[in-house]
Structure 1
Amino acid sequence: MNKQALIIDCDPGVDDAVALMLAFGAGAFDLLAITAVGGNVPVQKTARNARMLRQIAGREDVPVFMGADRPLRREPAGAGEFHGAEGLGDLTPFEPETPCAEGHAVDALIDLVMARPERSVAMAVLGPMTNLALALRREPGLAERLGPVAVMGGARSEGGNITASAEFNIWADPDAAAEVLASGCDVVLFGLDATHQVRATEDRIAAVEAIGTAMADTAASMMRFSQRIEREIVGWDAPPVHDPCPVAWLLQPALFELAPCRIRVETQSDLTRGHTAVEFRDAVAGGLPHRWATAADSDGVFALIAAAVGPGRTI
């Protein structure tokens, strides 16, 4: 079986953790690297969290690189209220046995992609797009070399989750998002319109808990934490599980409906900072270079998660 070469850029984060467990357990991926970025919590914690999750999954073969510690032009902003002060909910932090790989995440992105055949390396970007924007500044040819860039970010019909119109990952570094979307990369955006359809119901969490592996216990713990926090802050019983969506699409594209579009990001107004303007009309947009997820098969996504964290790792 030809495996999909994949780099995951992330800021773990409880839903990042579920996405990483999905990716670590999926035999269909050749995981080249995890690149950490500051976002939900500072980059020193996101890099440590990625290494913790790697150790739990028994995937020390995958290097973790530390990346940007702040947005391109903004002050760093976190989301600890939704992820816990350390980023991984109720999981007690520990110092992983294997350190970060030497070098900066931006250099690793460039080296890994440019050394491989054109369009052969996919990316899943699960946090602010700072690392990728910096890599594109340094090596513009990266846009033509990368395969699909599956991004968790943005909002249209659902409205925002950090402001009235902005989703957190885009809001945290709107300038980076704007640069990536204008770069020519093949961007597929999984915004709240789709990820709010993928919810960790009580039955779905219990099903993952019943699997009994360390990976399953970790994924279930993340969803239990989100369930409690979403009830307290938002009033939802079933929290959305955002970040597994891009990874699930790379594994099984039929789980999502996509629409061609052009996406622009608001970078000027403080009121609408990070708003994603998604235009589906070709005549208005002047071309539709991006894709926007409009619908998700939530049962299918959770079936993939269960298969990946199970003892057989059947995907």
Structure 2
Amino acid sequence: MDVDTGVDDACALLLAALHPALDLRAVTCVGGNTDAAQVTRNTLAVLQIAGRDDVPVAMGAERPLLEEPVHARHVHGEDGMGDLGWAATDRAPDRRHAVELLRDVLLDSTDDPVTLVPTAPMTNIALLLRTYPEAAQGISRIVFMGGAARHGNATASAEFNVFHDPEATAIVLDAAAGLGIPVTMYGLDVFYGPAVTREQAASLAAVGGHGPAQLAGELVAFQCDRFGSDSATIGDAGAVCAVIDPDGIRTTPLPVRVELAGRWSRGQTIVDPRDWSGDLDHDPHGRSRAVVDVALEVDAQRYADLWLRTVGGS
């Protein structure tokens, strides 16, 4: 996983760390919801709470490829984890840069390729695929949380992870197409569907013991309080659900481009549903190199239940 932990990244990490069908090989960190150093501290803390200090964690890019970093502390709190007051871990991250850790893990996985799950701006992944393209041998698929076929959230047109570093997303999609890596886009069209109620969050938190169930419940409760709602999305955790249970989403292979120049649309993922055999023959931009499996529908209750069962220990 590549994360910018983040309330919903924490929810995703708990699922990936605890689900018996997954073998979490490594977690890399990038600036996004908060700065990269805080993201790394948050990630180490979540994995320790989940009892997974065996998983290597490395810090990566502190800023986007071209622009100054932005953040989402107004959504995730000053520490990126809802300012819940959980104790920090004293575990240190891996000494390698995130891109080097990814390279090493992937080159060791060529006989049993892994699924790469970025739930953050894709700066680290872009650097990986351009610097060490041979590492692609160890990737079976990329399932990323980002983008939208319809409207955005960071702006009217752009989803936050892509908006934070549009060039990185464009590089990843182009490189994956050239290297033959299948890509699934778990974007805003399905992101908000799987949700947990305030009552379900309270039941998780009541487990106590400063374990994963309590943390999961408090994270959801924070989101409910932040937005004044009776439920909150599990967000990035849905992308991990899509790895565990891909039948829970309906995807369509569609050409995708990232807008890099627009004043109002920079960071928009332009998903093209047109009939290729007709309209595209006359499109001055030609065909997009990247054809992505775009998630357009999700069985929201199925994924919410999957997350609840796993983080609740049932």
Q: Tell me if the contact between 1:119 and 1:148 (Cα under 8 Å) persists in the aligned partners.
A: no
> Which one is further off, 21-30 or 85-94?
85-94
2:224 corresponds in structure 1 to: 227
1:256 corresponds in structure 2 to: 249
SS of 2:23's partner is strand
Match of 1:48 among 41, 48, 68: 41
List gaps (5 residues or longer) in structure 2.
281-286
1:30 matches 2:29: no
- The 1:256–1:208 alpha-carbon spacing in structure 2 relative to 1, beyond 3 Å, is farther
- The 1:93–1:216 alpha-carbon spacing in structure 2 relative to 1, beyond 3 Å, is closer
List gaps (5 residues or longer) in structure 1.
1-7
2:170 corresponds in structure 1 to: 178
Offset of residue 209 of structure 1: 3.5
- The 1:211–1:299 alpha-carbon spacing in structure 2 relative to 1, beyond 3 Å, is farther
1:194 matches 2:190: yes
CA distance in 2, matches of 1:93, 1:172: 28
1:292 corresponds in structure 2 to: 294
Offset of residue 74 of structure 1: 0.9
CA distance in 1, matches of 2:270, 2:31: 24
SS of 1:228's partner is helix
Stretches of 4+ aligned residues off by more than 6 angstroms: none
Q: Tell me if the contact between 2:17 and 2:52 (Cα under 8 Å) persists in the aligned partners.
A: yes
2:272 corresponds in structure 1 to: 279
Q: CA RMSD in A?
A: 1.8
SS of 1:182's partner is helix
1:78 matches 2:80: no
- The 1:42–1:165 alpha-carbon spacing in structure 2 relative to 1, beyond 3 Å, is same
CA distance in 1, matches of 2:272, 2:111: 28
Q: Tell me if the contact between 1:259 and 1:280 (Cα under 8 Å) persists in the aligned partners.
A: no
> Which one is further off, 56-65 or 95-104?
95-104
Q: Tell me if the contact between 2:33 and 2:72 (Cα under 8 Å) persists in the aligned partners.
A: yes
Q: How does 1:77-96 map to 2 (within 5 A)?
A: 77-92=70-85, 94-96=87-89
SS of 1:29's partner is coil
Residues 153-198 of structure 1: CA distance to partner in whole angstroms, max 9, x if unpaired?
01122x1111001110000000000000111232111111011212
Offset of residue 200 of structure 1: 2.8
Match of 1:306 among 291, 305, 308: 308
Residues 102-154 of structure 1: CA distance to partner in whole angstroms, max 9, x if unpaired?
11000111111122226711111010000000001101233454111111101
Number of equivalences:
300
Q: Tell me if the contact between 1:216 and 1:309 (Cα under 8 Å) persists in the aligned partners.
A: yes
Q: Tell me if the contact between 2:174 and 2:289 (Cα under 8 Å) persists in the aligned partners.
A: no
2:10 corresponds in structure 1 to: 17
Q: TM-score, normalised by structure 1?
A: 0.90
- The 1:288–1:182 alpha-carbon spacing in structure 2 relative to 1, beyond 3 Å, is closer
CA distance in 1, matches of 2:10, 2:102: 21
The percent of aligned pairs where both chains have the same amino acid is 37
CA distance in 1, matches of 2:239, 2:163: 19
Residues 238-289 of structure 1: CA distance to partner in whole angstroms, max 9, x if unpaired?
3333200110011111111111111111111231111010113461346773
Q: Tell me if the contact between 1:32 and 1:63 (Cα under 8 Å) persists in the aligned partners.
A: yes
Offset of residue 215 of structure 1: 0.6
For 2:219, give the aligned amino acid: M
CA distance in 1, matches of 2:72, 2:193: 21
SS of 1:125's partner is coil
Offset of residue 295 of structure 1: 1.1
1:156 corresponds in structure 2 to: 149
Q: Tell me if the contact between 2:33 and 2:73 (Cα under 8 Å) persists in the aligned partners.
A: yes
CA distance in 2, matches of 1:299, 1:71: 35
